[in-house]
Structure 1
Amino acid sequence: MKALAIDTSLTRITIAAKNEDKTAYLTLDIGMKQSEKLIPSFEYVLSQVDLTTKELDYTVLCKGPGSFTGLRLAFSALKAIELAYDVPVYGVGTLDAYSYAYSDFDIPVLCAVDAKKNRFYLSCKNGGKVIIEDGDYEIDAVKDIINGIDSEKIFVCGSDAGLFIRRIGEVLQGKKFICLKGTPNETENLFAIAEDMIAKKIPALKDFDGPVYIRASEAEENLASNSTGSANS
């Protein structure tokens, strides 16, 4: 198939294009300039596999959780392609994209992404069983759940697996946490997940579908705080 995958959920942007058996990848970790580089970058990646946007069978993105600005950027870019060329957009949860490659492991797989403010976006599954629902957690909030997992070893993946292992190790002993060195390219997982969705006839994103943030934005937190203050005055 001919496809474009984008992950803008984190501080870096990863873009991949595939044209049947040819694939090209590009990662940008360049701070504030990422937004202005997105469109030229995916056009460049598409050109490396001899594709244009109008030839795509589908596009796919990480739909969150993640950066508010980054997620909106990806949705805007791929929705524009959908409107212009009728190319369906598929959305994959960020934690699902990062943990997909390890879903057949016979030990619990925990996915961790740094959510800042001493918090992590986490999920944990053991085979088909959900142990920790996708969410925004403090370490202390999941310490007892992790301690209660019936396995001495837990595999940790995600962009911030190493950081999570260090933090959980400060408050929890008795578990062996394992992670890979290096960072696998999650956009290849996006292709695999999207094509499985297509095969199962799972619908693409609707016009009104947007990012999955989990955490409220600072503006929403301030609004809620102000509303509470007004109600109590």
Structure 2
Amino acid sequence: MKKLENIILIDTSLGACSAAAFKGDACAVRSEMKAHGQSELLVPMMQEVMAELSLEYKALDAVIVTMGPGAFTGLRIGLSSARALALSADIALYGMSSLQAMALSALDGRKDVERLRVLIDPRRDDYYMQDFDCKGMPLNEAQLVDGHAACQDLDALDMICGDAAERFSQRELENLSSNSMQKINYGFNSADLLCIGSIIKMHPEYLSDQVEPIYLRGADISQSKKTYRTLASD
């Protein structure tokens, strides 16, 4: 795959709504922490970053979207918007795992990390987890794991990062040595799309042309609490 010059990058998978556009060396980003109402925010954000760079949709080389794991509704909004744009503008569509996006952001500029673990918060007591090497390439399959499994092989890691890293450090404190605690990087901001976009512009091998949501678990479905009156039969 050739290097990408003009791209738009969309992320709605992690409790935020974000869009970043790149035109050569110039870039523009909009990001807002918002777990709900992303469908109303995303398209205006996309329009704003494109307008800031005076970039036409037909001039884009690709639309790139994070595929999860993450929030179900957010994933559907981001993926459907990316597909609609790619189809209407007749441009390429690529996806990237949200776990790998976090790994690439955490690794940027670091030369002291050989192996890191990314933990994403599914808003339950467990974690989406995957390990990556120093180049941001996956070392195992993405998994949904409990706290015990997330504590395995900590001595082999140089860093733990992701939006669930803080919860992990608090809940699994008794399983973490002081050395392990020093490895935890709490930070991930959706504005890191600028960092991620710059990396994948130069290294499109991180992208997948198989753009499908990565769920790892079933949807949360709750039964209706309404009560219904049964009509007596004759």
Q: TM-score range by the shorter chain?
A: 0.7 to 0.9
Paired residue for 1:100?
104
2:185 is aligned with 1:183 = no
Question: For the residues of structure 1 that align with 2:83 and 2:186, how far apart are their CA atoms?
Answer: 35
**1:38 aligned to 2:42?**
yes
Q: Hey, what does 2:26 align to over in structure 1?
A: 22
Aligned to 1:66, what secondary structure does the other structure show? coil
Alpha-carbon separation, structure 2, partners of 1:79 and 1:97: 19
The structure richer in strand per residue is 1
Distance in 2 of aligned mates of 1:131 and 1:2: 30
- Matched residue SS, 1:26: strand
Deviations 1:10-62 (A, max 9, x none): 11112111111211111122342221111111111111111132221111111
- 1:214 CA drift (Å): 0.9
Counterpart Cα distance in 1 of 2:21 and 2:96: 16
| 1:167 aligned partner | 171
Task: Specify the SS of the correspondent of 1:32.
Answer: coil
1:141 equivalent in alignment to 2:149:
yes
The TM-score, its normalising length taken from structure 1, stands at 0.79
Specify which of 114, 117, 123 is matched with residue 116 of structure 1: 123
1:213 equivalenced with 2:220 (yes/no): no
CA contact 2:12–2:74 (8 Å) conserved in 1? yes
Instruction: Work out whether residues 12 and 38 of structure 2, in 8 Å CA contact, stay in contact via their aligned partners in 1.
Output: no
**Once structures 1 and 2 are overlaid, which stretch shifts more, 111-120 or 164-173?**
164-173
Q: CA deviation at 1:197?
A: 5.4
Query: What CA distance in whole angstroms lies between the structure 2 residues aligned with 1:166 and 1:203?
Result: 33
Equivalents in 2 of 1:130, 1:32: separation in Å?
A: 30
Q: Distance in 2 between matches of 1:137 and 1:67?
A: 16
TM-score (norm 2): 0.78
1:44 is matched by which residue type in structure 2?
A: E
C-alpha RMSD of the superposition: 2.7
Q: CA deviation at 1:174?
A: 5.8
Q: CA deviation at 1:150?
A: 3.8
Tell me if the contact between 2:165 and 2:186 (Cα under 8 Å) persists in the aligned partners: no
Identity level (%): 24
| Per-residue deviation, residues 118-165 of structure 1 (Å, max 9, x unmatched) | 11111123447866531111111232x234x346xx312222322222
Shift of 1:204: 5.3
Q: How far, CA to CA, are the matches of 2:153 and 2:95 in structure 1?
A: 28
List gaps (5 residues or longer) in structure 2.
Answer: 224-234
Q: Deviations over 1:72-91 (max 9, x none)?
A: 11111111111111111111
The amino acid of 1:50's aligned partner reads S
User: Whole-Å Cα distance in 1 between the matches of residues 147 and 207 of structure 2?
Assistant: 35
Partner Cα distance (1:23, 1:192) in 2: 9
Q: Which has the higher helix share?
A: 1
C-alpha distance in 1 between matches for 2:139 and 2:197: 26
Q: What is the identity, as a one-letter code, of the residue corresponding to 1:139? A: G
Helix, strand or coil at the partner of 2:101: helix
Change (3 A) 1:155 1:203: closer
